[in-house]
Amino acid sequence: MSTVDSSLVAQLPLFAGLDTAELDAVLSDARSARVAKNAAVFRQGDEALSFYVLLHGHVRASKTTAGGEQVVVRYVSPGETFGVAMAIGLQRYPATATAVEDSIVLSWPASSWPRLVERFPQLASNTLRTVGTRLQESHTRVVEMSTQQVEQRIAHALLRLAKQSGRKVDNGVEIAFPISRQDIAQMTGSTLHTVSRLLSSWESRGLIESGRQRIVLRDPHGLVLLSEQDPHGVEPPAKA
């Protein structure tokens, strides 16, 4: 399938404010493609030849340092834009995008971005909002890493993943894609050993239930309390 049914994507944030005809015009430049689990959509340092919308599945964006260490930048959920390097003035992708499960992406040639924004200025505004939201999220992460201990950071990370990509199951909320201790470590600036120890402890306390690349939040509120805990016994601030 090379063409795309516009009804599927009409309400995505990227296309807010476009009417049906305009949407069709934008979509006529796009192609859809299947990406197998564990395959890369693009790699850090590659020339940024395309930008993408995720239609189905989940994609992990991660950066590799000069020393070879990996840091997970974010997980992309269906409907989100990714690989917009071109729009922010980059020639090359600043991170690697890997499908963590079988996924379907919509892609545009980066070369058509200038023409698209000229015809549909809304695209620039919409993308600006998206990138702005990501900037807020990244700042939140910097603040957490600066002020919180590992336990609080990991609790926050799980709660965010569950909110973003949670699936209700009988025992609670399950993170809807495969995620390892190592992945969580790379999201929180920790190590897989520390993550494993903490998750084991939480499991024994009934807060979560987990297995191989699988985590179910059994008591989200309990995790919220954990995530608000202050290391030195100072009370968490009263909710205003």
Question: Is 98 or 107 the residue whose CB approaches DNA more closely?
Answer: 98
Helix intervals (H) in the chain: 6-9, 20-27, 113-119, 122-147, 150-165, 181-188, 192-204, 220-228
Q: Going residue by residue from 93 to 132, which x/- string records binding to DNA, judged by CB under 7 A?
A: ----------------------------------------
Which one of DNA, a copy of itself, none is in contact with 180 (Cβ closer than 5 to 8 A by kind)?
DNA
DSSP-assigned letter for residue 47: B
Provide the minimum distance between the beta carbon of 73 and a copy of itself in the complex, in angstroms, as a whole number.
6
Residue 134 as a binder of DNA (CB under 7 A): the answer is no
Q: Give the contacts of 177 (CB within 8 A, at least 6 positions apart).
A: 57, 58, 75, 100, 101, 165
Residue 233 as a binder of a copy of itself (CB under 8 A): the answer is no
Which one of DNA, a copy of itself, none is in contact with 45 (Cβ closer than 5 to 8 A by kind)?
none
DSSP-assigned letter for residue 52: E
Q: Which of residues 186-225 bind a copy of itself (CB under 8 A)?
A: 186, 189
Residue 193 as a binder of DNA (CB under 7 A): the answer is yes
Is the CB of residue 44 less than 8 Å from the CB of residue 54? no
DSSP-assigned letter for residue 2: -
